[in-house]
Amino acid sequence: MSWSQERLESVARTRLSGAKLIVVANREPYIHRFRNGEVECIRPAGGLTAALDPVMRACGGTWVAHGSGDADARTADCGGRLRVPPDDPSYTLRRVWLTKEQEEGYYYGFANSGLWPLCHQVYARPVFDPAHWAAYKEVNETFAAAVLEEARGGPALVFVQDYHFALLPRLLKQARPDLVVAHFWHIPWPNPETFRVCPWGPELLDGMLGNDLMSFHIQYHCNNFLETVDRTLECRIDRERFAVERNGQTTRVRPHPISVDPRLAGEYLGDDWEGRASAIRKTHRLGDRPLLVGVDRVDYTKGIPERLLAVNDLIERHPEWKGRFHFLQVGAPSRTHLPAYRDLKDEVQTLADRINWEHGTADWQPVVFLNEHTGPEDVFVLYRMAAGCVVSSLHDGMNLVAKEFVTARPDEQGVLVLSRFTGAARELTDAVLVNPFDVRQTADGLHAALTMPADEQRRRMRKMRQQVDDHNIFRWAGMLLSEVGKLVDPGTVPEPLGLPPPSEDEFRTLLARQQSLDAMRLAMGVA
């Protein structure tokens, strides 16, 4: 039987036996921000929120996240809560307010300057700063307090997302041993040799072993994790059951490759996608030439300069393509507060300009670089109208752009050029697989995308669509829930052992801080 929203709903009902579902992820699925004096609601770029929103719509419950939008406090109640999605409220978003210093140390610092490069191993040197580590610990405690508050009064399954919260599972278990805690790590896990440079490695691993289930996209990352734990902490590794036993607690370690909701493509495309495609062609002067697209956050793990070099190589080695195709890169601004991300944006812009200068003419610019927030409605039209989609990550846990692209192609046309170093490459084996470090091979992949006969495209696309249909986001969540749901005990709930939830006063202080920030922004005319 295939997995659908309805089947997930029923699994959630039976497996959770009335326990609350609480998802914790740094990024919120709906951000409210001020634009021209008005409040607007946007969906952030990034696979995690797009993937988990349909799961929460199906299961209900609470999503605890950092309230990062400048209009977030205005649109939530005094507990930071609001019902979402705004047009079809089906679950609760609980926003946690962080100070600028906390965001600097926890999000930009330890999470994105330390753990992100450490886990991706893409030759960006991780930064380990004691002040970042202190903020990371503090924010994990802040989120623990918020989760404990949401979990008050009954059994709950807490589903923690990603590398922002390695310490949270242990904090939760210490306070409420009855909570069932599962954790999904959306990025790769490195080998023990790489991991051991992290000065706080043992503390991170101890935090993660507070989980009942620790899950990664692929078996290889599970193996790396078990190996890392084995070399770092005193514990028993059960290699038959893929579990770690420590201080009387068992943490199972399992692969669960994340996916997408294939129905969303139809919703985003609607009936008028062709009209919107013509408008895009007109705006960017694309004529009726074939289009290759890339859709990414501007992040150094995504291999965006490498793919531009491949575009350049394609034009140089195949001059017959001059004037006859475009490469359009959607590059959503991301983590722009960090110099490495700002430098990358400049590098991509410079490369795009150089290629256009060297090969372009008054009527034809080979590269279009859109460095702006682009909503899913436009992104899916680009997928639908493209001859090919290029995903050239240097290292990626999964990469959901690859999966989204195939869901947008009911016509069974279009070629996926996909980096071998993504989790997606293990499932989408009918893509044109390339090594993004090999510019010539990637250029050959682009050439293949532009020249592949329609029959061959159909054969490959049909198989990839089948794979994503069968292994969709509802299956991912259903399998995870089935695995941990049986641990939920609908019986009595013990009193918390520690970490009492913050008092009303503490919440009021945080709210007041947010409101004074708002007032300051208004006064400065930034809102």
Per-residue x/- mask for ligand F6P, residues 93 to 122, rule CB under 6 A? ------------------------------
Decide if 236 contacts 246 (C-beta within 8 A).
Answer: yes
- When CB distances to ligand F6P are compared, the closest residue is 46
Distance CA 333, CA 372 (A): 6
Are the C-beta atoms of residues 189 and 230 closer than 8 Å to each other? no
| The only residue of 46, 323, 360, 502 in contact with ligand F6P, by rule CB under 6 A | 46
User: Minimal distance in Å, beta carbon 452 to ligand F6P?
Assistant: 30
Contact 471, 442 (CB under 8 A): no
42: tokens are 């946007």
Of 334 and 393, the one with the shorter C-beta distance to ligand F6P is 334
Q: Which is nearer to ligand F6P, 251 or 393 (CB)?
A: 393
Residue 48 sits in the site that holds ligand F6P (CB under 6 A): yes
* Tokens representing residue 419 in the block: 């980096």
Is 47 a binding residue for ligand F6P by CB under 6 A? The answer is yes
Strand partners, 38: 35
- Region of 61 (left: φ > 0; alpha: ψ -120 to 50; beta: rest) is left
Tokens in use for 110? 């330890």
Q: Which region among 40-48, 315-323, 370-378, 517-525 touches ligand F6P (by CB under 6 A)?
A: 40-48
d(C-alpha 295, C-alpha 331), whole Å: 6
* CA 332 – CA 46 distance, rounded (Å): 9
Residues 201-220 that bind ligand F6P (CB under 6 A): none
How far apart, in Å, are the Cα atoms of 516 and each of 69, 78, 82?
15, 14, 21
**502: CB partners within 8 A, 6+ apart:** 145, 146, 149
| Number of residues lying near ligand F6P (CB under 6 A) | 10
Give the 3-state secondary structure of residue 526.
Answer: coil
Find where tokens 């380990």 sit: 128
Q: How far is the CB of 145 from ligand F6P (least distance, A)?
A: 21
Shortest Å, Cβ 184 to ligand F6P: 9
Query: Helix or strand or coil: residue 443?
Result: helix
Q: Residue 206 half-sphere exposure, CB side, CA atoms within 13 Å? A: 10
Question: Considering the complex, what minimum distance in angstroms separates the CB of residue 332 from ligand F6P?
Answer: 9
Q: Which stretch binds ligand F6P (CB under 6 A): 44-52, 218-226, 276-284, 378-386?
A: 44-52
Minimum Å gap between C-beta 67 and ligand F6P is 13
Among positions 127-186, residues that touch ligand F6P (CB under 6 A) are 162, 186
Output the smallest distance, CB 335 to ligand F6P, in A: 6
**Between 162 and 444, CB nearer to ligand F6P:** 162
Which one of 15, 20, 27, 359 is in contact with ligand F6P (CB under 6 A)? 27
Q: According to the binding rule CB under 6 A, does residue 296 interact with ligand F6P?
A: no
Listed ranges 42-50, 222-230, 432-440, 442-450: which one lies at the site for ligand F6P (CB under 6 A): 42-50
Q: 214: closest CA among 178, 260, 246?
A: 246
Which ranges of 246-291 does DSSP label H, i.e. alpha helix? 264-269, 273-283
- How far apart are CB 297 and ligand F6P at their closest, in Å? 6
Q: Is 393 in the site for ligand F6P (CB under 6 A)?
A: no
> Rounded to the nearest whole angstrom, what is the least distance from the CB of residue 59 to ligand F6P in the complex?
19
For the chain, state the CA radius of gyration: 23
Closer residue to ligand F6P in complex, CB, 27/359: 27
Contact by Cβ (8 Å): 481, 179: no
Q: What share of the chain is helix, strand, coil (3-state, %, to 5)?
A: 45, 15, 35
Q: How far is the CB of 486 from ligand F6P (least distance, A)?
A: 27
Q: Check binding of 187 to ligand F6P (CB under 6 A).
A: yes
Residue ranges in 333-352 that form contacts with ligand F6P under rule CB under 6 A:
334-335
Could you tell me the two tokens for 89? 């409220």
- Contact segment (CB under 6 A) with ligand F6P among 45-53, 118-126, 465-473, 512-520 equals 45-53
Binding interface with ligand F6P (CB under 6 A):
27, 46-48, 162, 186-187, 297, 334-335
